[in-house]
Structure 1
C-alpha cells in the first residue's frame, strides 16, 4: 500500500469512528496513475490524487496549476495547514487529511468536516540535510547545482560550513533521494523541484526563525517614502520579501520590508533611520549565504521567492510565482 492509500484509509476510518459517516475507496489502474474512487452512499466520485506530507497555503496554487484535468483533484496529506484548507475550499478543491478532516463538494455529494487536531507522530531521526546548518548548504546547492560535483572541502569553503558537517549533509541528501550517481566519483542533484519545496518548508520552520534580529520602523518619512533609493550596496544589506518582489516584478507594492545583513550596526541603522519597534514593519535578519549578489540590492531570487511564499498572502504568492517563472524555473527544472 502506497502512502496516499495509507492516509486515505486512516482518514476514512477516523471519519467513520468520529461521525458515523461511511466512506470507502477504490483504485483504478496502476498505482502511479493516482486515480481513486471515493464511494459515499453508493455513489462513486473519481479523483486524481496529489499526496503531500504537509501542505501550506503557498503550495495550493502550484498544485492546481499542475493538476490533471481528466479528473477532479483530491489533495491527500498527513497534515494541511488551516490557511491551506480554507484556500482549497475557496477554490473548490477536495482534500482529505490524515486526522479525518475532509472537504468534497461535487454534483454527487457534499462532505465536510473540519477542526480535528493533527495526529501526533513519533519524532523521526533528523536528516542532517534539513537542520539549520544543512539548510544553508542546500540553499547554496539549489543556487549552484554544479557545486554538488565538487569536493567536500570546496563545498565547506563555499558555504562557510565546517568540513566535518558536509559529509553528513550530503549523505542526508542522498538518503532522501536528491542525489543521482553518474559515475563512481561524479554525482548530480535530482528531484530539484521537490528539494526546493522541502527547503522552503525547512527554511520557514527551522532556519528563518533563528535568523531574526528584530523588528524596526523607519522614522524618517523621506527614507520611508523613497526606500528604493536607499544605498544598500554601501551598507552591506539586501532586500528580500515584499520590497525585493516589488523591485523584481513591478507587480507588488511592499507593505512589510525585509532586510538581510551580516550584522546590524549603528551606521546602518542611522543611514536608513531605523529604530527598534516590536510592531515595526521593517524586519531584519542575519545573512546566511556567502556568495556575493551581483545585483547588490536584492537577495538571491530563491530566497526572495521563499520569503514571499511563506507569508501565505495571495498577492505575495502570486509575486513569488512570477519570480519563480522568470528567475528560478530554468535552473530548478532543468536536468
Structure 2
C-alpha cells in the first residue's frame, strides 16, 4: 500500500534529499536533462516507485531506500533485482552512502543506484550514466578519531555488550585496551555524530545503530584487523576442513572467528578458510595444533584486542569456542564472498 497525499508529487524526504544533493553535484548541462522525480513511497518508507525523465525519456523503477549499504545488503538486493527482472521491472537504490566495492557489485548485478554525493549508475534502455569516486559525508566522518584504532576498539564494546555504556570511563577503557581520556573524547564524538544520546534516567543510548555497525565493520577491516594479524599457518596435525569441530580452542586460550565461527553460530557455512583469535603472549595454540608458518596457509591467526575475561562481556549471546558475533559478522562481510555474505546476514538478523 502506498501513502497518498493531496500534492501531485508524493515525497519521501529521505529520497528527495538524496536526489537533490546528487543533482547539485552534476554539471549544469547534465543536471537540467533530469526532470523532477515523483516518489510513491510505502508505509515503511523503505520501498516504492520512482518516476523521472532524462532527455524527455520517461523512466520508472522499483525503488528501495535502504539507508547505509553493506555488502550483505548488496547480496540481498541482487536477489531482489533478479526477482523483479522476471516481471520486466528494474530496481533502483537510493542511499546516502555507497562504498566503491559495493558499487562494483551493484553494477555487475545490473542494479541502478544513486547516492547523496552524486555517485550513480543508470542503465535504462539507451540511457547510460556512470559516475563514481565521489566521497560522501559519511566517509569524511570516518576519518575522525571515532573510526581510528581506539575508536574501533571502543565501538566494539558498545555495540557488542548491552551493559558497556553503563560502565565508567576507566572500566570501559580497561575492557577494550584504551585510556579513559580516549573514551571521553570518543563518546563526545559519538554524540556529535548522532550515534549516542541521553535516554531515560540519563542513560546513554546508541543512535543509528544499523548505520554505526556498517561504519564499524569497514573501519575494523581496514584499520584495526591488519594490526591484529599474527600470521598464516597450516596444521600438520589437524585436517581443519573436516575436523575443526573437534578442536576446542578455549582449552588453549583461543576462539574461532570468520568462517568456522559462522558455522558454529548458524550450522550453515562449511568453512574453507579459518580464523583464530589467540593471546599473543601464549604459544599453546601453536603447539596444540602443530602449526607451521605458511604464506598462503588456510589458518589466519589474530591477537585479541579486548579483555575476554572482563565482566562486561559475560552473559552475552556468544557460542562456545567462537568470538562474539559482531567480529564474525565483520570478518564475513569483509571477504565480499557471496556465501559468506549470505551467512553474515543470518548472523546480523539473529544476533545483532
TM-score, with structure 2 as normaliser: 0.76
Q: Give, in whole Å, the separation in 1 of the partners of 2:96 and 2:196.
A: 25
Deviations 1:272-294 (A, max 9, x none): 12111111111111111223476
Aligned-pair CA distance for 1:255: 0.7
What's 1:112 paired with?
128
What's 1:219 paired with?
236
SS, match of residue 284 in structure 1: strand
Equivalent of residue 351 in structure 2, options 318, 323, 327: 327
1:170-319 matches, cutoff 5 A: 170-182=187-199, 185-222=202-239, 225-263=242-280, 265-292=282-309, 295-319=319-343
Are residues 1:94 and 2:112 paired? Answer: yes
- Cα pair distance change 1:120/1:309, threshold 3 Å: closer
- Cα pair distance change 1:206/1:236, threshold 3 Å: same
Equivalent of residue 65 in structure 2, options 43, 50, 59: 50
- Aligned 8 A contact 1:38 1:45 in 2: yes
Aligned-pair CA distance for 1:179: 1.2
Aligned residues: 316
Aligned-pair CA distance for 1:223: 5.4
1:98-177 matches, cutoff 5 A: 98=117, 102-105=121-124, 109-113=125-129, 118-119=133-134, 124=140, 126-177=143-194
- Cα pair distance change 1:56/1:111, threshold 3 Å: farther
SS, match of residue 202 in structure 1: helix
TM-score, with structure 1 as normaliser: 0.79
Aligned-pair CA distance for 1:236: 0.9
Deviations 1:26-46 (A, max 9, x none): 243699969754422312324
SS, match of residue 112 in structure 1: strand
Cα root mean square deviation, aligned: 3.6
Q: Give, in whole Å, the separation in 1 of the partners of 2:199 and 2:128.
A: 48
